[in-house]
Structure formats: C-alpha cells, structure tokens
Amino acid sequence: MGTNIRLVENPARPLSMHPHKFALWLFIVTIVMIFASLTSAFIVKQGEGSWLEYDLPTMFWYTSGAIILSSIILQWGYFAAKKDQFTQVKLSLVVTLILGMAFLVGQYLSWGQLVNMEVYFVGNPAGSFIYVLTGLHAFHLISGIVFLIVVLFSAFNYKVHSKNLVRFEMCTTYWHFLGALWLYLFLFLVFYH
C-alpha cells in the first residue's frame, strides 16, 4: 500500500486584509447604506407632491472644489510617504486639514444661504432633507478631520514612512470616500432639488 505525496511549490495564500482596514470598509459600507436610504426616501417623498422648489446655495460649488482639492493633496502626501518625503507628507496633511475645515465653514455658510432663501429645517420636507443630508455628511467629515489630526501627529513624530503606511492609507481611503460621497450628494441635489 503506497502513499502518494505531492509537494506544492507555491501554495495558494488565503485572502487577507489588515483588521483595521476591514473595520474601515465595514464602516464605509454602513455609511453608504445610510445615505442610500436617505436619498431613496428623498425621491419617494418628493414624488408625493407639495415639494418646495429652491436654488441650491452657491457655497456648495466652493465646498465641492475644496473637497476635491483636499483629496488630490492628500493623495500627493500618500505618494510622498511611500518615498519617505517627510516634509511633503506633513505639508499635505496640514493643507488637507485646512481645506477640510474650510469645507465645514462653507457648509455652515450654505445653511445661512438656505435660511436667507427661506428654506428651513422644519416645515417642508425638501428643506429638512437638505439639512439632514449635508449635516450628516458634515458629521462624518468631522470624524475624517479627527483621523487627519491623528495621522498628522504621527507624521510629526516620524511614525509615517514607507514601512508604516497602514494608518495613512486608511485615512486617505476614508477621506477620498468622504469626498466622493459629497460629490454624489451634491450632484443628487443638483438633479433632484
């Protein structure tokens, strides 16, 4: 009775992901589900009639530009971190942080523009939805800013470098997601407001 033994030279590696990255992706999926349900509810409620017609705040255009620019700059910083260019890494994080804060200020000012157009949180559901969508996004952006600050402190302590990029990569992924989410919301509101 003979035994057949086969040697496998290159065994298949199981799929794996850093546990923190996996948790981040689960969080992102949760956020996507929340905003998908809110935008679906927006469309359904709008179809019921008595929908307030209004112009979107002009500030939305500026905040959209700020979030796009911040994403580009953060990606530049990530590429710099891969090459251990510490000055560029710190600069990209500081500029992204400033642009993120400018985005939040712009969103606050856009609410002022809505009030000036007599679009309020209470009353017509059209107003309620725009405040909820932009406010919930701003809340998530604040969490992104906290994440940026954590990575910025790590960068100033030289803990962000080509051999330690997990936290920076996660921050970049989350920031790009928040930017893409805002662009989705902005275009959604342009076409459906």
Query: Which CATH number characterizes residue 168's domain?
Result: 1.20.120.80
Q: Does some domain include residue 137?
A: yes
Which spans in 48-124 are helix H?
59-82, 86-116
12 DSSP assignment: P
- Mind listing the pLDDT tens digit for each residue in 26-48? 999 999 999 999 999 999 999 88
pTM of this structure: 0.89
Q: Does some domain include residue 113?
A: yes
Q: Does some domain include residue 50?
A: no
- Mind listing the pLDDT tens digit for each residue in 98-135? 999 999 999 999 999 999 999 999 988 999 999 999 99
Read off φ and ψ for residue 52, nearest 5 degrees.
Answer: -75, 125
What domain count does the chain have?
1
Matching residue, tokens 């712009």: 106
pLDDT band for position 49 (cuts 50, 70, 90): confident
Q: Does some domain include residue 37?
A: no
Q: Does some domain include residue 38?
A: no
Residue type for 76, please? W
Range of the domain at 164: 64-192
What is the percentage of the chain residues whose pLDDT exceeds 90?
Answer: 80
Q: Does some domain include residue 108?
A: yes
> What helix, strand, coil percent values describe the chain, rounded to 5?
75, 0, 25
Tokens of 66: 């700020």
